C-alpha cells in the first residue's frame, strides 16, 4: 500500500505512518510511495534496490522542500548519537536532520556514558531503548553496531565504522544521480552502468562501502592502490553473503583505474586510528594522488568526489579540488537530505 508524506504550517496534526493530515496553511504532499520491512541501516544492502530508489526519491523531495514544509516524522522523538570518533559533517548533518524532522537530537560521546567505562554493548542497547527512539552510531568496530541492533528495540543507523560507511555511499550515489537522471526521473536507474574509480587505500571503509554499493546500484568500480592495501577477505565474504559476484577490478595502476570513469573518488590516506602509520602510508600511496593529469585521464565530463576532510597535496591536488567538476561540497550538503530520508523511513517501522 502506497503511503505519502505531507507537511505544512499548522497547529493541529493527525498522522499515521507517513500520512499527515494538516489543518491550515498550504498543503504540500510528499507522494512518493514507500514500502519497507526492515528497521536498521548498518550496511548498504539493508535497503533492497527498489527501497534504495525510494530513499533517493524522498531525499530529492526533502531537499527541494527544505525551509518550506518538512514532515514532522520524528515529532515527540529523541534520537541519540553515540560517537566514538570525532566528526564534522556526520554529526552536524544528523543533528540538524533530526531537528528538521521534528525530533530532538541527543549527542552522547562514548566516553561520557557508561559504555566507555565497561558497560556492555548489549546492556547499553537495552537501556537506551527505554529512553530514546533511535540510535545513530559512529564507532570503530563494526560488530558494535550489529550488537546494538540485535540487542535493542529501536532503529540503529551506522554513521561510520572501520568496515563500512553506508550513509556516505547513499549520499554520494544520490549526488551523482542528481546530475545523471532526467528532471523528475528515476535517480537510482541513472546509476546503472556508470563507472567509479576509487584511488588510494582500497582496503578502507569507504572502498569497502563503494564495492558493496556499486554492486547494489549496478555500477562498475575499479580500485587502484598499493599492494598490501587491496580489498580484503571481509568485503569479499560480505559480497558473497549478499548474493553478489566479486564485482570490482583492482589494479596498482591509477591510470588504468580511471580510464572511462564517470567519477574519480578518493579519501584520506590516514584514517582515524591509523595515525602512527602516517609516514609509511603517505610514502606508499603518493603515486595514487589525484593530480590534474590523472583526473584528465577519466572521461571528459567525469566528476571528482571526496567524502572530506581533504588534505590538499596528499591524496588530491588543489587544482582538482578547485575544478568546476569537483562536487565535494554538494556531496557534503547532501548528507543532510539523504540521512533525513533514511531516518524518515526507519522511524515508521514497527518496533521489536
Name residue, grid cell 544528523. Answer: 94
Catalytic residue among 60, 194, 306, 335: 335
Dihedral (CA of 316, 319, 321, 325) sign: negative
Catalytic one among 267, 284, 331, 337?
A: 267
Residues in contact with 10: Cβ distance below 8 Å, sequence separation at least 6, in sequence order: 22, 23, 24, 25
**Triad 207, 85, 123: Cα angle to 5°:** 105
Dump the DSSP string for 220-239: EEEEE--TTSS--HHHHHHH
Cβ(127)–Cβ(170) below 8 Å: no
The Cα–Cα gap between 334 and 60 comes to 9
- Give the strand pairing for 104-109 and 78-83: parallel
Set 77, 168, 284, 339: catalytic member: 168
Is 267 one of the catalytic residues?
Answer: yes
Q: Which of 40, 60, 89, 138 is catalytic?
A: 138
Active site residue 168: yes
Residue 281 is among the residues annotated as catalytic for this protein: no
Q: Which of 60, 91, 142, 165 is catalytic?
A: 165
Report d(CA 173, CA 55) in Å as an integer: 11
Q: How far apart are CA 39 and CA 68, in angstroms?
A: 28
Question: One of 40, 307, 331, 337 is an active-site residue; which one?
Answer: 307
Query: Which residues are marked as active site?
Result: 138, 165, 168, 267, 307, 335
Amino acid at each position: 500500500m502506497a503511503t505519502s508524506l505531507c507537511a505544512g504550517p499548522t497547529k493541529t496534526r493527525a498522522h499515521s505512518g507517513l500520512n499527515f493530515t494538516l489543518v491550515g496553511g498550504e498543503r504540500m504532499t510528499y507522494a512518493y510511495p514507500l514500502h519497507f520491512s526492515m528497521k536498521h541501516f548498518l550496511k548498504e544492502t539493508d535497503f533492497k534496490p527498489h527501497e534504495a530508489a525510494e530513499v533517493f526519491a524522498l531525499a530529492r523531495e526533502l531537499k527541494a522542500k527544505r525551509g518550506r514544509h518538512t514532515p514532522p516524522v520524528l515529532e515527540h522523538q529523541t534520537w541519540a548519537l553515540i560517537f566514538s570518533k570525532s566528526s564534522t559533517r556526520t554529526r552536524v548533518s544528523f543533528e540538524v536532520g533530526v531537528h528538521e524532522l521534528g525530533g530532538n537530537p541527543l549527542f552522547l560521546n562514548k566516553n561520557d556514558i557508561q559504555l566507555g567505562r565497561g558497560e556492555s554493548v548489549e546492556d547499553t542497547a537495552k537501556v537506551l531503548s527505554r529512553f530514546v527512539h533511535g540510535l545513530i552510531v559512529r564507532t570503530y568496530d563494526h560488530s558494535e553496531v550489529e550488537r546494538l541492533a540485535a540487542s535493542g528495540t529501536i532503529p540503529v543507523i551506522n554513521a561510520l565504522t572501520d568496515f563500512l560507511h553506508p550513509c556516505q555511499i547513499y549520499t554520494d550515489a544520490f549526488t551523482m544521480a542528481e546530475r545523471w537522471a532526467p528532471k523528475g526521473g528515476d535517480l537510482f536507474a541513472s546509476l546503472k552502468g556508470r563507472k567509479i574509480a576509487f584511488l588510494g587505500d582500497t582496503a578502507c571503509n569507504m572502498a569497502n562501502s563503494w564495492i558493496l554499493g556499486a554492486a547494489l546500484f549496478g555500477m562498475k568500480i575499479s580500485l587502484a592502490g598499493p599492494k598490501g592495501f587491496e580489498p580484503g577477505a571481509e568485503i569479499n565474504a560480505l559480497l558473497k553473503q549478499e548474493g553478489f559476484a566479486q564485482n570490482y577490478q583492482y589494479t596498482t595502476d591509477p591510470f588504468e583505474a580511471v580510464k572511462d570513469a564517470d567519477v574519480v573518488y578518493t579519501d584520506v590516506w590516514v584514517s582515524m586510528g591509523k595515525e602512527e602509520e602516517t609516514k609509511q602510508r603517505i610514502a606508499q600511496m603518493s603515486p595514487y594522488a589525484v593530480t590534474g593529469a590523472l583526473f584528465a585521464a577519466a572521461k571528459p565530463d567525469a566528476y571528482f568526489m571526496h567524502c572530506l576532510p581533504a588534505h590538499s597535496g596528499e591524496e588530491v591536488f588543489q587544482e582538482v579540488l578547485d575544478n568546476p567538476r569537483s562536487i565535494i561540497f554538494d556531496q557534503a550538503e547532501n548528507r543532510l537530505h539523504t540521512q533525513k530520508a533514511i531516518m524518515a523511513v526507519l522511524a515508521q517501522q514497527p518496533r521489536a
